[in-house]
Amino acid sequence: MTTIAYDGKTVSVDLQMTDGSNKFKYRKVFNITTEIVGIIAGDVNKCSKLIKRIVDKYTVDEFENEEDDELDEATVLLYNKKTSKLYHVDLKDLSEVEMPAGYTCGSGAQGASVALLLGLQSQEAVKYASKVDIFTGLGILTLCGDNEAVIDL
């Protein structure tokens, strides 16, 4: 699973991918354009399929609007490095909805939400979530505009 937290300026995501009882590091952030990155939560194969559709939308200005119930298990967020805004992508038509500061998702979302409500930044929120959610961990990648930082847990 995944934990993603957004504090209105920075967005952080843990690096743990879990397959059964196996845990491994996985970068869940993908370049879409020079200004936009995609962040995934959910099944990697389903998210990869969705990322490909989003890249097609941004680079070729077209995409296949296919009905795929399996994509319901995938979440893709877009972070605009220029504006520091975060958007949730609708799985059917790839429309985007701006997310408010304090947004969290994934298996550790409740822990991260509490941390954000207490005034912590996104990286600290994901770190806190890693202490209460067994599916969150192995490091944190934080985006702040054009900058990114990775810390180990």
No. of H helices and E strands in the chain? 3, 12
Q: Is the dihedral of CA 8, 27, 58, 91 positive or negative?
A: negative
Q: Which amino acid is at 46?
A: K
pLDDT tens track of the chain, all 153 residues?
A: 789 999 999 999 999 988 778 888 988 898 888 999 989 887 767 777 777 777 777 766 555 555 555 556 678 899 999 999 999 987 777 788 999 999 999 999 999 999 999 999 999 999 999 999 998 999 999 999 989 889 887
> How many angstroms separate the CA atoms of 119 and 122, rounded?
9
> How many angstroms separate the CA atoms of 60 and 40, rounded?
21
Q: Which amino acid is at 9?
A: K
Q: Is 139 left (phi over 0), alpha (psi -120 to 50) or beta?
A: left
DSSP 77: E
Confidence (pTM): 0.86
Tokens of residue 39, six digits: 């962040």
